[in-house]
Chain A
Amino acid sequence: MKVRISFQARIAGVLIMLLLIVVFAVFIAVRAATQDAVRKQAQAQLEVGTRVFEGLLEMRGKRLRDAVQLLSTDFGFRDAVASADSATIRSVLLNHGARINANDMFLLGMDGTVMASTVAQIPEGSPFPYTQALRELKGKNQSMLIVPLQGQPHLLVESTVLAPLPIARVVMGFSMDGDLAQELRSLSGLQVSFLSIVQKQPGQMISTQPAPLFDSLRGVMMNPPSDEMQMTEHQNQSFLSKTLRLGSNSDSEVVALLQSPLDQAMQAFAPLDKTLFWITVVALACSLVGALLLARNLSRPVSALAQAARRIGEGDYATPVVLDRRDELGLLASAINSMQSGIAERELQLAHNALHDPLTGLPNRALVMERLGSAVIAQRPVALLYLGIDNFRAISTNVGLEGVEQLLRIISEQLQEPLRPGDTVARLSDNEFLLLVHNAETDSAVAVADRLQRLLVKPQRIGEQDIAMDACIGIAAYPANGDSASELLRRASIARQDAAQLPGRLQVYVDGRDVAHLRQISLIRDLRQAARNGELSLHYQPKLDIRNGRVTQAEALLRWQHPQFGSVSPAEFIVLAERTGSIQILTNWVIEEALRQLAEWAYRGLVLQVSVNISADDLLDGNLADRVAALLKLYRVPAEQLIFEITESAIMREPEQSLKVLNRLREFGISLSVDDFGTGYSSLAHLKRLPVQELKIDQSFVRDLDETSEDAVIVRSTIEMSHNLGLKVVAEGVEYEHSLRLLERWHCDTAQGYLISRPLDAIAFEAWIARSQLPPRMTVY
């Protein structure tokens, strides 16, 4: 609201300011123009008036002169003048002067002497003071003389009295009085003032101006400027003035002041100022109203638009801004509306993307967790099916990225088949899915899982290949297996991992599995430091040469003494190490420790062949052979004392690479042995291509060996075939005497098992050897 008001005010302010500037400029311009006009008009008036004044004065002078001339030709007057009787002459002068309203009359002799006078100041017999000036008039072709006389300016005109020759001159004076000034004023339109100055003393002021101005006027007239026109001010009234010297003598002069009043002319324009003022007021009011209307017209839709923008910012995409205008604001409104729908659309998309898997369109972890959470909060029973495709990596290498995508889409469709509406299928990662089955107990969840497995196990045609998926499913149920979403998810995940180890590939979460899981995590974590902390050790299990009853071989077995969990079974931590990729570290440690031990024993005169277990990951390490060679050199142990035991499955994972490594090891002279023979899928045919010298029959065949069992056939035929291939045979897990007898009868080369000895640490082993070697076969039999 504050913004709107200030916006309106600003528009109004700007408009009003602009208007004021314009009006002010117009006012100034008009003022300047009128003043200029007034001044020019006054100047023109003064000029014209001056000419009129001069013309009038001249006309008056001529008229007077003509009158005097006419008078001077009057016969009686001439007769009287010729009589030379001064009294008569004076009376005639008075008489005739009165006829033409002359104020002063003089009769002058031809030599300039006053013969008769009506002015006491200029007595008869005295020389007339203006004789010379009058004589000069003729030369200047002027008709009259203006002189100060008795403190007043007078017009003097002269005429010669002819009888018929000039006998005298008659001079008549006319006082320039107020009447004359008024007359001149009425005709010229100017204020007229006369002043006579005698010996710098001003005479009486004759003026059409009011008396209060006289002093000021006198000041101007006493010191007339050289300028032709000037601005003068008399008691705050402005005039354009012009001073004229009407007549000047050495010590006397008559000055006329003509003035054109400026104020009066300015007053003529006063109505214009008034009109301008009212125009300004009206325009200001109009512009104020207009500005407010304009601002309102602008600010209302703007605030509506702002409100709409705020609504959109708050996430309201449903309410459109309604603005029925065709101007830019209307455009803006429709743009905002389309923006709103665009944002809504994109936000939906974003929200969908945020909560869904882009490839399959299934909900993602976040969404399914939210739904699970809400089910938990609502205390609705719900079952989680954590599904993983175990052979996903193998599939992806076979069918490529596009095939995987196609497959995932098929999976996502298949996963939804057994579900009811309201249930959720989510994709958690590349090969993991989570199914949320509402109102399901563990049993019904297992049914769903079973159905899913059956669906997924059907081979799918992807491109050229038929793909069968190996799906393992872990199940956790609420409220049975947990009471929070994250716990449920974790436990379902553990169940899934457990399922991966099971042939059925299906596992319901078992209570306490999460504790086992935590133990696994700790083991994985600590395994990396185990060698450094001296927690690892090697135990040695003797291998008996059945033919001569001597022990010249042993299998090195890794033992881990965990500071917290105590002795940890290799079956537990080797699996973890293989899963986490730290198995190579262990293998290296084992090899080095075995070599070190061999070197130590050799130093004491004990020479043995020790076999070390090598995992599949080790075979993928191209440096293994070099590293082993370096260690052999370091501990000065002959390669013949070292046997590497490798499982069939390890070799079969990467046959090419494995074969390369095995060949190199063999080149050094290291013996190679196939471990756990009989548990994998490989055949003897495979074995002949490998550079192996030995074969170890898995203990599962040997442990309960007796003459009649199926195992006997397998063992016996295996021994025979191996021998045919030139391989020695080791039987593991020999626990009973009769088993050993059988093996001996079947010409098995070597036996290993609790019957001979359990695995012993290095010291115990050394002692055991010492004991057994003294009477070589005593201890064995």
Chain B
Amino acid sequence: MRHVFISLLLVVTALQGTLASAASLTAEFVDAQGKPLPDAVLTLRGATAPPAGPMKADMDQRDVQFAPHVLAVRSGTEISFPNSDQIRHQVYSFSTPKRFELRLYGGTPSAPVLFDKPGVVVLGCNVHDNMIGYVYVTDDGWFGVSNDKGALTLDQVPAGHYAVTLWHPQGADMLPVSGGDIDIPAGGLKQRFTIAVQPNADNTPAAPTPSAFGDAFHKAAHE
């Protein structure tokens, strides 16, 4: 998570350098029930060109989990998959925007993976089925992922009119939804977004439960 901030900071400092009239967007994500929604992705597409910057990011693996769980990158970003665990992982994705496979490895692989097409890339580990991570690849200039409290702050966003796109791993069919258009004034904007999410059902496959076929069967036979 620290890395995310660091990379965000890098992006933000880069933007501050180029734009004088930079404003900030403070977004707050909740689900339909009004609970704070972490891991929500927000992208803004405006008239101004997005700031250029280094197109690199890290998707760490620690405690047999992808960290961060959701990573938003701009198209063309090279993502490195360092392995912080003592065990090896085999990271792969069959997602259409980027199919790749990193053979079983430990430490940091030699080459980063280029994510050049926008879309959702679901990451998995071939040897650890419950390791799931998401890389949200977007062409939009500004984007961010909500923190644990469901809050997201985008600094150095030029004041102006933007089309908002929202995405969440548990969103319907895992498709991005439109968050509407917003006008960000120079003094910044504080906006609340609601994303309908499905219960965390299919996303994390659990270990196979012991079958109770016989029990149920027996019960049925006796009824």
Query: Which residues of A in the span 45-100 have a Cβ within 8 Å of any Cβ on B?
Result: 50-51, 54-55, 57-58, 61-62, 65-66, 69, 73, 75, 78-79, 82
Q: Which residues of A contact B92 (CB under 8 A)?
A: 75, 164
**Contact among B131, B132, B202, B216 with A142 in the assembled complex (CB-CB below 8 Å):** B216
| Residues 191-223 of chain B, each 1 if its beta carbon lies under 8 Å from chain A, else 0 | 000000000001101001101111111101110
Which A residues are in CB contact (< 8 Å) with B211? 58, 61-62, 65, 141-144
A57 to B220, CA, bound (A): 15
B221: min CB distance to chain A, Å: 6
Cross-chain contact of A143 among B131, B205, B213, B218 (Cβ < 8 A): B213
B214→A54 contact, CB < 8 A: yes
Kindly state the separation between the CA atoms of A688 and B212 in the bound complex, as whole angstroms: 160
- Inter-subunit contact A164/B214 (CB<8 Å): no
Instruction: Write the nearest CB–CB distance from B146 to chain A, whole angstroms.
Output: 20
Task: Please encode chain B, from 177 to 188, with 1 for each CB lying within 8 Å of some chain A CB and 0 for all others.
Answer: 000000000000
Check A322 for interface membership: any CB of B closer than 8 A: no
Mark out the residues of chain A between 340 and 389 whose CB falls within 8 Å of any chain B CB in the assembled complex.
none
Question: Which of A51, A55, A57, A162 makes the CB contact (< 8 A) with B129?
Answer: A162
Q: Could you mark each residue 154-180 of chain A with 1 if its beta carbon is under 8 Å from any beta carbon of chain B, else 0?
A: 000000101111110000000000000
A747 contacts partner chain B, Cβ-Cβ < 8 Å:
no
With contacts A78-B94, A163-B122 taken as known, whether A144 is within 8 angstroms of B213 at the C-beta atoms is yes
Min C-beta distance of B206 to chain A, whole Å: 11
Pick from B95, B205, B216: contact of A141, CB below 8 A: B216
Interface size class for chain A?
A: 20 to 34
For the complex, give the distance between the alpha carbons of A57 and B95 in Å.
Answer: 38
The residue on B at minimum CB distance from A55 is B214
Does chain A have a CB within 8 A of B124? yes
**What is the CA–CA distance of A315 and B143 in the complex, to the nearest angstrom?**
149
Residues B89-134 near A (CB distance < 8 A): 92, 94-95, 99, 122-126, 129, 131-132
Q: Closest approach, in angstroms, between the C-beta of B170 and any C-beta of chain A?
A: 11
What's the Cα separation between A79 and B99 when bound, in Å? 10
A245-B124 CB under 8 A given contacts A57-B214, A65-B211, A143-B213: no
Knowing A66-B208, A79-B94 are in contact, say whether A164-B217 is a contact too (CB < 8 A): no
- A121 CA / B123 CA spacing, docked (Å): 37
Contact partners of B221 in chain A: CB under 8 A: 50, 54, 244-245
A167–B93 Cα gap in the complex (Å)? 12
How many Å from the CB of B88 to the closest CB on chain A?
15
A140-B94 in contact (CB<8A): no
Q: A166's closest neighbor in chain B, by CB?
A: B202
Please determine whether B122 and A165 come into contact, CB atoms closer than 8 angstroms.
yes
Instruction: Determine the distance from Cα of A415 to Cα of B124 in the docked complex, in whole angstroms.
Output: 162
Contact B220 A165 (CB under 8 A): no
State whether the Cβ of B19 lies closer than 8 Å to any Cβ in chain A. Answer: no
Taking CB atoms, residues of chain A closer than 8 Å to B129 are 73, 162, 164
B208 touches A165 (CB 8 A): no
Minimum CB–CB distance for A604 against chain B, Å? 152
A142 touches B213 (CB 8 A): yes
* In the complex, chain A residues whose CB is within 8 Å of the CB of B213: 57-58, 61-62, 140-144
Q: How many angstroms between the C-alpha atoms of A245 and B216 in the bound complex?
A: 12
The yes or no answer to B174 lying at the interface (CB within 8 A) is yes
Beta-carbon nearest neighbor of B214 in chain A: A58
Q: How far is the CA of A51 from the CA of B217 in the complex (A)?
A: 10
Residues of B contacting A78 with CB < 8 Å? 94
Q: Which residue of B lies closest to A110 (CB)?
A: B202
Q: Given the known inter-chain contacts A164-B131, A165-B203, please indicate yes or no for A142 contacting B217, CB distance below 8 A.
A: yes
Could you say which residues of chain B place their CB within 8 Å of the CB of A66?
208
- Distance in Å: Cβ of A247 to nearest Cβ of chain B: 10
Closest Cβ–Cβ distance, residue B197 to chain A (whole Å) = 15
Nearest chain B CB to A561's CB is how many angstroms away?
A: 138
B209 touches A167 (CB 8 A): no
Whether A164 pairs with B122 at a CB distance below 8 angstroms is yes
Distance between Cα atoms of A165 and B124 in the complex (Å): 8
Q: In the complex, what distance in Å separates the CA atom of A160 from the CA atom of B221?
A: 29
Q: Which residue of B lies closest to A75 (CB)?
A: B126
Q: Name B94's contact: one of A50, A163, A244 (CB within 8 Å).
A: A163
A165 touches B125 (CB 8 A): no
How distant is A180 from chain B, measured CB to nearest CB, in Å?
Answer: 16
Q: Which residues of chain A have C-beta atoms less than 8 A from B218's C-beta? A: 51, 54
Given contacts A78-B94, A142-B216, A245-B221, contact A164 B208 (CB under 8 A): no
Q: A66-B208, A75-B126, A245-B220 are in contact. Are A165 and B214 (CB under 8 A)?
A: no
Contacts of A69 in B (CB 8 A): 208
Chain A hits for B126, CB < 8 A: 75
Determine which residue in B94, B126, B202 has the highest number of CB atoms from chain A within 10 A of its CB, and name it.
B94
Q: Mark B78-96, 1 if CB is under 8 A from A, else 0.
A: 0000000000000010110
Q: How far, in angstroms, from A50 to B218 measured CA to CA in the complex?
A: 9
A residues neighboring B (CB under 8 Å): 50-51, 54-55, 57-58, 61-62, 65-66, 69, 73, 75, 78-79, 82, 140-144, 160, 162-167, 228, 244-246
24 intermolecular pairs with C-beta atoms under 8 Å apart: A54-B214, A54-B218, A54-B221, A61-B213, A65-B208, A69-B208, A75-B92, A79-B94, A140-B216, A141-B213, A141-B215, A141-B216, A142-B211, A143-B213, A160-B202, A160-B205, A162-B129, A163-B122, A163-B124, A164-B92, A164-B129, A165-B174, A244-B221, A245-B220
